[in-house]
Amino acid sequence: MQHTFDIPTSINNMKPETIGLEEGPICPLPFTHNEVIVMGHGSGGKMSHDLIKKYFYSYFENELLLAGNDAAVINIGNATLAFSTDSHVVKPLFFPGGDIGRLAVCGTVNDVSMMGAVPLYLSAGFILEEGFEIITLSKILESMRTVAEEAGIQIVTGDTKVVQKNQADGIYINTTGVGLLYPGSNITGSRAQPGDAVILSGSIGEHGLAVLEARGELGFSSGIQSDVAPLNRLVRALIDAVPKDAVHVLRDPTRGGLATSLNEIAQQSRMGIIIDENKVTIQPAVRSVCELLGFDPMYVANEGKLICIVEEEFAHKALMAMHNTRYGENAAIIGYVTNQPQGRVLMTTTMGSTRILDMLSGEMLPRIC
């Protein structure tokens, strides 16, 4: 089936180099003494990507890292594993729908799952501030235990460190996870192909706004709950429903939101992606709060949603399988992969026009995960 889209000529003719598709090896850059880390480097958007590419990639350059996926896929003996790590600094620690503990487990379970792997074991490292109440720590640990049980994974190793009062914000948690790849699956950000369907597993923007509300920054109660959830069973259901090779890309649109994750995939695959705004589900409360605060929900973080890029022929089967799971009931096809414009995401709006959907450029909501 062919999909035709009316792409404005000015967008279609853009050269890859104007949109950050670099060629050739990454060279270590000279150290610049006057550059400092700013909050925008933690946005998950363009500033985070630039920081990682410019410094981390140049120091740690290797093929596995440069694949730029949610987890590295590594071979050990006869096993192929997905391996990922994530640190959590969310403020406040408890928010509607979740807390730092649930987030720390789900963040890593989901990143491992996005490679088409079954997450099995997690490590958890805790940095605790002097004076932090044990009762609060216990609540967080209980939350981690509950969601680990739901996901069917075990936390099997860990670490605790304590820093002096005022040297941290109560608690920071790092988790690392390993999982076994489903035999035959080949899921990576660079595999999006023309004609592939783009499926989104549910509504967007809830997590970022729930954290914002917990900070008291809204000044009213919106009733929005974070979507933070483990997605491994959803991934299992959709992979089992289609030929193993048919799922090309999976990604959870966390920091930087849906727009940023789609841009990552477009750039990694050197493809265009076009989505239809009408197909993207946004809860009315999320839409209202975004309008009130001037946020674009396309850039607000999610912690329980995934993007699935799948061969068009199998998109309906994948969708049906997702609909039968707890966290995929509202999954929908929101768009398609196209040949052009390379590395760009376009959106046909509710008004009928087409606009470029860029990666998040600055910082919108700091410390949301």
| Closer Cβ to Mg ion, 99 or 111, answer by number | 111
Nearest distance, CB of residue 123 and Mg ion, angstroms: 18
Nearest distance, CB of residue 44 and Mg ion, angstroms: 9
| Closer Cβ to Mg ion, 254 or 342, answer by number | 254
> Could you tell me if 308 and 196 are in contact, meaning their C-beta atoms sit under 8 angstroms apart?
no
Buried b or exposed e, range 222-252, using 16+ CB within 10 angstroms:
bebbbbbbbbbbbbbbbbebbeeebbbbbbb
> Residue 81: CB partners within 8 Å, gap ≥ 6?
73, 74, 75, 117, 178, 179, 180, 181
| Closer Cβ to Mg ion, 70 or 227, answer by number | 70
> Residue 7: CB partners within 8 Å, gap ≥ 6?
272, 274, 338, 340, 341, 346, 354
> Could you tell me if 50 and 44 are in contact, meaning their C-beta atoms sit under 8 angstroms apart?
no
Within the chain, how many helices (H) and strands (E) appear?
11, 14
Nearest distance, CB of residue 111 and Mg ion, angstroms: 5
| Closer Cβ to Mg ion, 224 or 369, answer by number | 369
Nearest distance, CB of residue 261 and Mg ion, angstroms: 8
| Closer Cβ to Mg ion, 106 or 289, answer by number | 106
The two tokens of residue 70 are: 């949610």
Nearest distance, CB of residue 255 and Mg ion, angstroms: 9
Residues near Mg ion (CB under 5 A) = 70, 111, 252
| Closer Cβ to Mg ion, 213 or 227, answer by number | 227
Nearest distance, CB of residue 302 and Mg ion, angstroms: 10
Q: Please state, in angstroms and rounded to a whole number, the distance separating the CA atoms of residues 185 and 181.
A: 7
Phi and psi at 149, nearest 5°, equal -65, -45
| Closer Cβ to Mg ion, 170 or 253, answer by number | 253
Nearest distance, CB of residue 207 and Mg ion, angstroms: 13
Residue ranges of E strands in 164-246? 171-181, 197-200
Q: Please state, in angstroms and rounded to a whole number, the distance separating the CA atoms of residues 327 and 321.
A: 11
| Closer Cβ to Mg ion, 332 or 369, answer by number | 369
Residue type (1 letter), 151? A
Which strand (E) or helix (H) includes residue 288?
Answer: helix 284-293
Q: Please state, in angstroms and rounded to a whole number, the distance separating the CA atoms of residues 219 and 213.
A: 8
Nearest distance, CB of residue 20 and Mg ion, angstroms: 20
Query: Which is nearest to 70 in space by CA: 253, 302, 207, 202?
Result: 253
